[in-house]
Structure 1
Amino acid sequence: MFKIVDGYIIKKYLGTFGFMLILLSTVVLVIDVQQKIPRIENATALDPKLNLTYFLIHFYPFWIINLVVTFLAILVFISVIYFTSRMANNTEIVAIISSGASFHRFAKPYLLTSLFIALISLMVNHFVLPWANIKKNALEAYTYNQTNKDKILGTAPVSAQLSKTEFIFINSWNKKEYRGYGFVYQKFDKDRKLVYELKANDAYWDPAKKQFVLNSFLEKTINKNDSEKLGNGFELRKNYGQAPEELFPNELLGQNKTTPELIKFIDREKEKGNSNLNAHLNEFHQRTSMPVSIILLTFLALSLSSQKKRGGLGINLAIGISLAFVFVFSFEALKVVSENKIMSPALAMWMPNIIFLPLTFILYIRRANQ
């Protein structure tokens, strides 16, 4: 009998979750396309290839993957509240418990299904989502307003720390064309004394040879006796070990890397002495904390909705949606807190789970003992 009940609950869980997933994706897709049509039209004016059809094929499928991953825990939460509340209103849960099953035994299929979804989510977050983000982020900037678009594709001053003693500064760098003006490379000794400086009027990236091409350059070497050796020329090619997107990363770079690649990138930046890594560390920790949230929110939803209440499904959904907004908002707010270096990324990305864990435990035990 219990196997039949398990199968029934798992079918309800996955069926409701699948329906919610399709419903959310469809509704949000339609709303987002309508909102972004003017910006897509602006992109089409710059490049006729970047029309609405192109975005629907090359951007939105990957955007939806990102959307689903972001809201997966919340979809699970609302799905469990919905179908469990209906079971409670139909007295199905009372009948199952009355047949001799404990509440813990009743909760077993919830645990198994949430573990299944969480494991899939874990694999997607660490390996599939970065691939989707590469496709999405190639066009994402064209859907931004002009200010945010310029941060990704526009021209701005950039700098990079190659090591603890080596730095690059460019006064004006175009992030789309990989070309800039006012290039400066400086190297210091262990006493922070300048020992070498290279300046160029303009610089661009040669992707074929993976080198920076410096035009109208002037270099200065400072000897131990403080004498200087000068040199100049029309063109100089330099390889600084990384492509421009790695040297001058934006906030989207971490999203494009699988977790092993992201770990290597973070370690490499730490070796250079770069301390501005919290956005990438947030990405790293969130990839694991969000799948864990699926299990946690499943049991929270079960505890809230498995008993028939006055107000029925409506009150349960109201409570569930309110908690869902709190959960999502807390993640986004804590990202900002972490990026401002007020809290460590690990703590920030696990804080919602840490807060909701005792709440879930108390509600579950109270419900099991009723």
Structure 2
Amino acid sequence: MKILDWYILKRYLFTFLMMLLLFIPIGITVNLAEKIGRILEKEVPFSAVALYYLDFTIYFANLLFPIFLFLSVIWFTSKLANNTEIVAFLSSGVSFSRFLRPYMIGATIIAALALVMGLYLAPMASKGFNQFVYKYLSNKKEINQTTDVFRQLNENDYIYVSNFDVKNKNGNYFTLEHFEDNVLKYKISANNIRYIEEDSTYRLTTYVKRTIGEDGDVLDIQRRIDTTFAFDLDDLTPVEYIAETLQYKELNNFIEKEKKRGSSNIGRYEVVKYKKWSLPIAVYILTIIAVAVSSIKRRGGMGINLAFGITIAMIYVFFDKVFGVMAEQSDFSPLIAVWFPNVVFGILAIYLLYNAKR
């Protein structure tokens, strides 16, 4: 590598690291100020709080990765432009494409880091982060109870429970329906279902099994029965953040399993999956936009570049969130929802880069 490459690459990585070290403590302080009352009220152990903020750091960094990167590139490139260093580089015969090369090397390093975080580190941090919130910071109802749980277990079996107490592993108004060739064969219902952890069985109270027959239905009624089912306790206690806590291979298996069950949350899970790959690509796109915007010395100085950069970053986040919500709550394609901001800003990056070269 040439001296120019090392000079820009070190500034690229150092400024990005400083941006993380600057904003993450601010995020932790704001979060702690908001939640300190609940933490003290619940008498949360210090070790649990320390692990929570370690997970929060990774979770927070992964969430705002594009903004940190974008602002750091605009910051140090604007300083280069204000010091007329870019003019000196280009006047010495260096083409703009050659000037861009160390930025692309830096973007590759950051993209690799983003990929590792998305595939491995962020899921583990998200699990610890959400479990802490779920256990200590949510209100009692959110912690203890899920309501109106309907699940398709496979092609033939469907379950429903009116509400399920997560803490006590106890639910009310449970039904299981078994179909063959779209014909109901039997239905099991109970006023109460309780998971017996020692035996890995379910205890049904006021148990009724109705078997559908050609010559009439057969009823099996018992006051209480212990039995096993082909579903897990997790099927009765679904959590919205489950996809965020799974590594990539586990997430793929989970999505396939949920598709077979006819889950209504497939869009939410696939958005999480596709974002693991879209974020590293966004690193390149945002780097090009940031260089194209900030490499020109402007009359207003660095402030104009930062203002313009922050505006673009906010628009990017807005697109990302809006299309993500559309995919989660409607039939809008998760693939399009995740990649559309990258396509739009990729076109913008090409346009800005073309004008910067001119």
Fold-level match, TM-score > 0.5? Answer: yes
Residue 301 of structure 1 corresponds to which residue in structure 2?
A: 290
Task: Specify the alignment match of 2:304 in structure 1.
Answer: 315
- Aligned residue for 2:158? 167
Deviation at 1:203, TM superposition (A): 1.6
Q: Could you tell me which of 222, 225, 230 is aligned with 1:240?
A: 230
CA contact (8 A) 1:152 1:250 kept: no
Return the match for 2:126 from 125, 133, 140.
133
Q: Give me the whole-angstrom Cα distance separating, in 2, the residues matched to 1:202 and 1:112.
A: 60
Aligned to 2:351: 362
Provide the C-alpha distance between the structure 2 equivalents of 1:40 and 1:195, rounded to a whole number of angstroms.
51
Alignment of 1:94-105 (within 5 A): 94-105=87-98
Give the one of 244, 249, 267 matched to 2:256: 267
Q: What SS does the corresponding residue of 2:354 show, helix, strand or coil?
A: helix
SS of the equivalent of 1:107 reads helix
Q: Following the alignment from structure 1 to structure 2, what is the Cα–Cα distance between the partners of residues 63 and 176?
A: 25
- CA 1:67–1:254 in 2, change beyond 3 Å: closer, same or farther? same
Structure 1 vs Structure 2 CA RMSD: 1.9
Compute the displacement of 1:288 (Å). 1.0
Residue aligning to 1:123: 116
* Aligned pair partner of 1:113 in 96, 106, 111: 106
Which piece of structure 1 moves more, 82-91 or 216-225?
Answer: 216-225
2:203·2:224 contact (CA, 8 Å) conserved in 1?
no
Q: Counterpart of 2:193 in 1: which secondary structure?
A: strand
Higher alpha-carbon deviation: 159-168 or 199-208: 199-208
In structure 1, what is the Cα distance between the partners aligned to 2:24 and 2:242?
25
Counterpart secondary structure, 2:215: coil
What is the SS of the residue equivalent to 2:210? strand
Q: Separation in 2 of the partners of 1:105 and 1:210? A: 64
Structure 2 residue matching 1:59: 3-state secondary structure:
helix
Offset at 1:127?
Answer: 1.6
Aligned residues: 358
For the Cα contact (< 8 Å) 1:160–1:248, is it kept in 2? no
Q: 1:248 to 1:96 in 2, by over 3 A?
A: same
Aligned to 2:171: 180
Alignment partner for residue 207 of structure 2, among 188, 212, 217? Answer: 217
**1:12 Cα offset (Å):** 0.4
Shift of 1:179: 1.7
| Aligned residues of 1:6 and 1:109 also touching (Cα < 8 A) | yes
| Letter paired with 1:20 | M
Q: Identify the residue that residue 39 of structure 2 maps to in structure 1.
A: 40
**1:140-177: per-residue Cα shift (whole Å, max 9, x none)?**
2257564xx74454342212111233111111211343
1:272 CA drift (Å): 2.3
Which runs of structure 2 are paired with 1:43-58 in the superposition (5 Å)?
44=42, 48=43, 50-51=44-45, 53-58=46-51
Following superposition, the deviation at residue 6 of structure 1 comes to 0.5
1:202 corresponds in structure 2 to 192
Q: TM-score, normalised to structure 2's length?
A: 0.94
Verify the 8 A CA contact 1:111 1:295 in the aligned structure 2: yes
Q: TM-score, normalised by structure 1?
A: 0.91
Please state whether the residue corresponding to 1:252 is helix, strand or coil: helix
Is the partner of 2:159 in helix, strand or coil? strand
Contact 1:279 1:339 in 2 (8 A): yes
Q: CA distance change for structure 1 residues 136 and 168 in 2, over 3 Å: closer, same or farther?
A: same
CA distance in 2: counterparts of 1:94 and 1:308, whole angstroms: 9
Contact 2:151 2:262 in 1 (8 A): no
Aligned with 1:251 (options 226, 240, 244): 240
Question: Aligned equivalents of 1:207 and 1:257: distance in 2?
Answer: 24
Q: 1:83 aligns with which of 76, 93, 96?
A: 76
Counterpart-to-counterpart distance in 2, 1:236 and 1:158: 21
Could you report, residue by residue, the CA deviation over 1:180-233 in whole angstroms, capped at 9, with x for unpaired residues? 122111112213x32111122322223454433323422221223333242425
Q: 1:233 to 1:126 in 2, by over 3 A?
A: same
Q: Match for 1:124: what amino acid?
A: M
Gaps of 5+ in 2: none
Q: CA deviation at 1:129?
A: 1.3
Aligned partners of 1:210 and 1:239 also within 8 Å: no
Going from structure 1 to structure 2, the CA distance change for 1:143 and 1:35 (only over 3 Å counts) comes to: farther
2:161 and 2:236 in contact (8 A); partners too: no
2:328 maps to which of 327, 339, 349: 339
